[in-house]
């Protein structure tokens, strides 16, 4: 026997130590995933070195819940505390929701009977044993990142068979207080989804992704040939830089196009100047071909211009009165001809730069007004001239009419309103006219009115949230609608623009260890990983050394085999077979013993990382790799040494024949015949 059976013991010991160490260390890969709680994925800050310093806007939660591919989403605040010599994780969440939606199954939660409130808490079963708690009880909590202390009522415990069993679940308010976190942020957003690929495409794209949004227009309605400016934002919400090609089309007809190069998570403003020749409503499609969130729509009305006469329906005779001519957009028109007709008397007055024309008629009666301009359709109206003696000498203001430029605008668009105010008395006065949007003051218009005078005043409305709104002036009110940039996918757009490419979406099984925590246990974990590498190296060196020694001791035997006719290939086969057999037996024994040691250590709770007790689940692929590696090292080291020995001349190998015979007997030479 060239390689003696005693090598099995050395191989088994080396593999046992390495198997037990690597088995425990392999669990450290999943330890950071404990911070995902019961979620499939978590969204956390891209630039936060630890989960405790991560800050995510809680506004992502309703946006996620409005997506059909998201089954649940909730905010969590993660911090650390200590009790005696034990440090543990505090997870802030809505306890009622966690119990109702199954994150903490009701059948696995054991409550004291009291309903959870702000200062209530639930403890995991393993943490309860570590801290020696007996719910219900009251314990003080101090945060690791703030100086506050909070007394909480541990109302019960749970045993869900996951890393949550090592944690204390408290309300969001308590967790925020302990880590001094603002109310609109959280450490992470946990979620579950039935379409992981879609979620990663939206929140964690691995290439350039573009969205066009916040489309604005300089005018709601224009006349044929009039220029309108359309502005939009283009954002690359992907993780790398890329090129985008943007097009603007009207019913399939290309109006304008742009080429853009954007870095990751950057935005550019695009401006296009357009005009239209035909009347009607033009729906513009603004698109970046490919991907999702790449189309937006904008309506522009093209109307034929016409004149509007703004005049008081009643004016005192014998006094000058004003008539104002505006276009259908409320803009004053200079150079318009206004014809006054009363009986057989006619007068024509041209409006000034402010659109006003003034005239005085002495007689009482009905006066017809006609306005005309070469560029506009005309308008007509009537005015009643009455005896001043019949008119009150007081100031009597009133809102006579209220119109909006349109009933529907796009998000970030502007809405124009025109209010007609009249003074029905002879006294001059001023009025402050409030305008309300959704019953809240929007603006106040100051209007000065002369005797029996009517004026029109205009105002703008913008930056209104998506939805249906009401606007009121005087006794008049109108409803209008603000449409989103993406009528069908508004929440998805907000989700991608606010969080895609700017945060980190991690699978609950793949959270990087540096994202989990930088605490004392984390430093121990790094040391354990180093120990694992050293253990693997030492195991390899031990196996290589013992097999190399066996071949060195069998060197004279190999020389004798050569001298009696054994060829080098024959020697290689003998050595390889014995090394393989002994290495396989030793590896199998070592793996079984190593698993037993790892199970015992894990069940005894001797290892914790990031405040969580490490569990042990055998990794079949890892164990198979250990066996294959051990056998390969055994065979390889034996073959290298045997090859060196076999290349020496038989004479040099069997010098001192008497000693060699003794060695040969010791090594079992009698087992080999000359034929071998």
- For residue 234, pLDDT over 60 is answered with yes
Query: In 28-65, which residue ranges form alpha helices assigned H by DSSP?
Result: 60-65
pLDDT-based confidence at residue 369 (cuts at 50, 70, 90): very high
pLDDT at 368: 93
In 10 A of CB 153, how many CB atoms? 18
pLDDT-based confidence at residue 504 (cuts at 50, 70, 90): low
- The residues with which 479 forms a beta bridge, in sequence order, are 470
- For residue 574, pLDDT over 80 is answered with no
- For residue 29, pLDDT over 70 is answered with no
Proportion of the chain above pLDDT 90, given as a percent? 14
pLDDT at 520: 39
Distance (Å, whole) CA 82 – CA 141: 8
Task: Tell me whether strands 167-170 and 86-92 are parallel, antiparallel or unpaired.
Answer: parallel
Task: Identify the helix (H) or strand (E) that includes residue 91.
Answer: strand 86-92
pLDDT-based confidence at residue 657 (cuts at 50, 70, 90): very low
pLDDT at 673: 35
Mean per-residue pLDDT over the chain, rounded: 77
- For residue 126, pLDDT over 90 is answered with no
Question: What's the length of the chain?
Answer: 676
Report yes or no: 184 and 208 within 8 Å, Cβ to Cβ.
no
Fold category of 392-485 in CATH: Immunoglobulin-like (2.60.40)
- For residue 123, pLDDT over 70 is answered with yes
pLDDT at 524: 46
Task: Identify the helix (H) or strand (E) that includes residue 491.
Answer: helix 490-499
pLDDT-based confidence at residue 249 (cuts at 50, 70, 90): very high
What is the CATH number that goes with domain 210-302? 2.60.40.10
Lowest mean pLDDT among 130-134, 513-517, 544-548: 513-517
pLDDT at 642: 62
What is the tens place of the pLDDT at every residue in 90-118?
999 988 888 888 888 888 888 876 555 66
What is the tens place of the pLDDT at every residue in 322-340?
899 998 777 899 999 999 9
**Cα separation of the two ends of the chain:** 12
Mean pLDDT, rounded, for 294-304 = 82
Buried b (16+ CB within 10 A) or exposed e, 481-491: ebbbbbeebbe
Spell out where 450-538 has E strands.
454-462, 467-473, 476-483, 503-507
- For residue 620, pLDDT over 70 is answered with yes
Lowest mean pLDDT among 20-29, 254-263, 283-292, 401-410: 20-29
Picking from 84, 193, 57, 181, the residue whose alpha carbon sits closest to that of residue 139 is 84
- The residues with which 285 forms a beta bridge, in sequence order, are 249, 297
Please give the model's pTM, rounded to 2 decimal places: 0.52
| Ranges in the chain annotated CATH 2.60.40.10 | 210-302, 392-485
User: Cis (ω within 30 of 0) for the bond into 136?
Assistant: yes
Distance of CA 545 to the CA centre of its chain: 54
Mean pLDDT, rounded, for 487-515 = 53
Picking from 42, 40, 189, 51, the residue whose alpha carbon sits closest to that of residue 514 is 51
Query: In 554-612, which residue ranges form alpha helices assigned H by DSSP?
Result: 555-563, 568-603
- For residue 449, pLDDT over 80 is answered with yes
- For residue 155, pLDDT over 50 is answered with yes
């Amino acid at each position: 026997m060239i390689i003696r059976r005693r090598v099995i013991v050395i191989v088994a010991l080396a593999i046992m130590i390495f198997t037990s160490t690597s088995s425990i260390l392999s669990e450290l890969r999943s330890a950071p995933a404990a911070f995902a709680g019961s979620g499939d994925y978590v969204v956390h800050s891209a630039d936060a070195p630890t989960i405790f310093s991560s800050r995510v806007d809680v506004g992502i939660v309703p946006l996620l819940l409005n997506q059909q591919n998201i089954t649940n989403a909730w905010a969590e605040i993660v911090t650390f505390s200590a009790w005696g010599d034990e440090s543990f994780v505090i997870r802030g969440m809505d306890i009622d929701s966690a119990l109702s939606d199954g994150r903490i199954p009701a059948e696995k939660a054991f409550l004291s009977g009291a309903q959870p409130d702000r200062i209530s808490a639930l403890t995991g079963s393993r943490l309860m044993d570590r801290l020696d708690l007996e719910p219900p009880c009251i314990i003080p909590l101090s945060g690791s990142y703030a100086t506050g202390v909070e007394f909480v009522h541990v109302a019960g415990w749970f045993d869900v068979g996951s890393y949550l069993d090592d944690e204390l679940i408290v309300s969001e308010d308590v967790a925020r207080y302990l880590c001094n976190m603002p109310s609109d942020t959280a450490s992470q957003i946990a979620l579950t989804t039935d379409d992981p690929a879609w979620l990663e495409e939206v929140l964690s794209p691995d290439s350039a992704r573009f969205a066009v949004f916040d489309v604005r227009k300089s005018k709601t309605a224009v006349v044929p040939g009039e220029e309108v400016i359309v502005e939009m934002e283009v954002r690359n919400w992907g993780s790398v830089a890329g090129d985008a090609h943007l097009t603007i089309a009207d019913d399939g007809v290309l109006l304008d196009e742009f080429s853009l190069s954007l870095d990751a998570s950057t935005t550019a403003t695009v401006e296009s100047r357009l005009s239209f020749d035909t009347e009607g409503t033009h729906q513009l499609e603004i698109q970046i071909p490919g991907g999702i969130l790449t189309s937006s729509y904008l309506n522009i009305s093209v109307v034929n211009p016409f004149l509007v006469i703004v005049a008081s329906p009643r004016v005192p005779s014998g006094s000058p009165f004003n008539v104002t001519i505006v276009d259908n957009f409320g803009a004053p028109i200079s150079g318009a001809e206004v014809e006054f007709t009363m009986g057989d008397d006619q007068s024509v007055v041209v409006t000034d730069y402010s659109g006003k024309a003034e005239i005085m008629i002495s007689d009482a009666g009905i006066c017809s007004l006609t306005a005309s301009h070469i560029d506009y359709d005309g308008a007509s109206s009537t005015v009643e001239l009455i005896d001043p003696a019949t008119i009150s000498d007081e100031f009597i203001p009133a809102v006579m009419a209220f119109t909006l430029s349109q009933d529907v605008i796009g998000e970030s668009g502007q809405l124009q309103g025109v209010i007609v105010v009249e003074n029905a008395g002879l006294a001059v006065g001023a009025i402050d006219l409030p305008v309300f949007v959704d019953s809240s003051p929007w603006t106040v218009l100051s209007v000065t009115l002369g005797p029996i005078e009517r004026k029109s005043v205009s105002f703008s409305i913008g930056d209104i949230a998506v939805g249906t709104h009401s606007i009121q002036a005087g006794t008049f009110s109108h409803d209008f609608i603000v449409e989103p940039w993406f009528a069908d996918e508004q929440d998805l757009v907000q989700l991608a623009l606010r969080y895609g490419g700017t945060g980190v979406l991690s699978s609950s099984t793949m959270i990087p260890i540096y994202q989990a925590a930088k605490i004392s246990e984390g430093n121990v974990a790094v040391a354990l990983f180093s120990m694992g590498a050293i253990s693997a190296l030492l195991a390899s060196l031990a196996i290589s050394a013992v097999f190399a020694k066996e071949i060195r001791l069998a060197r004279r035997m190999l020389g004798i085999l050569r001298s009696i006719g054994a060829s080098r290939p024959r020697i290689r086969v003998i050595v390889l077979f014995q090394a393989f057999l002994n290495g396989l037996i030793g590896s199998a024994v070592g793996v079984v013993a190593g698993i037993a040691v790892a199970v015992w250590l894990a069940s005894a709770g001797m290892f914790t990382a990031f405040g969580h007790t490490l569990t042990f689940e055998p990794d079949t692929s890892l164990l198979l790799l250990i066996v294959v590696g051990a056998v390969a090292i055994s065979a390889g080291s034996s073959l290298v040494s045997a090859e060196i020995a076999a290349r020496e001349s038989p004479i040099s190998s069997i010098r001192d024949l008497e000693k060699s015979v003794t060695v040969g007997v010791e090594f079992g030479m009698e087992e080999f015949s000359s034929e071998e």
